[in-house]
Amino acid sequence: MIEGIEPLYQRIADAITSALPETWHRAWMDAIYYPDNMLYHSSYQATESGECDGIETTRDARRAFDEMRVLFVNTGKVPWGRARFEILSTGKFNLQLSYDDCDERGFARFDEAAEREWHRQVLAGVATSLLGAKPGPSSGG
C-alpha cells in the first residue's frame, strides 16, 4: 500500500456519492491520461440490471486521481494510463489500474476511432466497463 493513498480514495468516493441520486446500486469514475490531456467520466446504475447514466463529479475527484498518479511516480512505481474507481451502494469499492496500451511514460495511446465508438456505446448504455472492453485495455494493475 502506498502511504497517503487512502485519503485520495475517500475524496474520489465522496465526490462520486455526492453526485448520485438517493437510490443507486453502483457508480464509477474513469480517468484516462493521454500525453496531451486527460479524460474523466463518471456514471452510475440505479439498479443492478439498470442502464447507465452519467453524473458530474467535482473537480476534487479529478485532482485526487491526478495526485494518486503523482504518488505512484514519487514512490518509484510506473504510472498507469487508465483507472476506474468503482463503488457499490454497500460501501465496498474497487480501484482498477491499467498499464495496457500505454507508452513508456504511462500515458494511454489515443485511438480516435476506438474512443469515439466507446463513447457512442456509453451514451447508448452498452459499455459498462472501460477496463473490460475495447477501446480500453483489459484489466491490469
pLDDT tens for residues 77-108? 888 998 999 999 999 999 998 887 788 888 88
Q: Looking at the domain assignment, is residue 112 inside a domain?
A: yes
Q: Looking at the domain assignment, is residue 103 inside a domain?
A: yes
pLDDT, tens only, 51-67:
788 899 999 999 999 99
Helix or strand holding residue 61 (H, E): helix 59-74
Residue span of the structural domain in which 53 resides = 6-124
Q: d(Cα 19, Cα 4) in Å, to the nearest integer?
A: 24
Q: d(Cα 45, Cα 40) in Å, to the nearest integer?
A: 17
Q: What is the CATH number of the domain that holds 115?
A: 3.30.500.20
Q: Which of 66-75, 111-120, 121-130 has the highest mean pLDDT?
A: 66-75
What is the value of pTM for the model shown? 0.76
Q: How many domains does the chain have?
A: 1
Q: Looking at the domain assignment, is residue 137 inside a domain?
A: no
- What is the Cβ-side half-sphere exposure of residue 121, based on CA atoms within 13 angstroms? 15
User: Which stretch of 38-47, 57-66, 126-135 has the lowest confidence by average pLDDT?
Assistant: 126-135
Q: Looking at the domain assignment, is residue 116 inside a domain?
A: yes
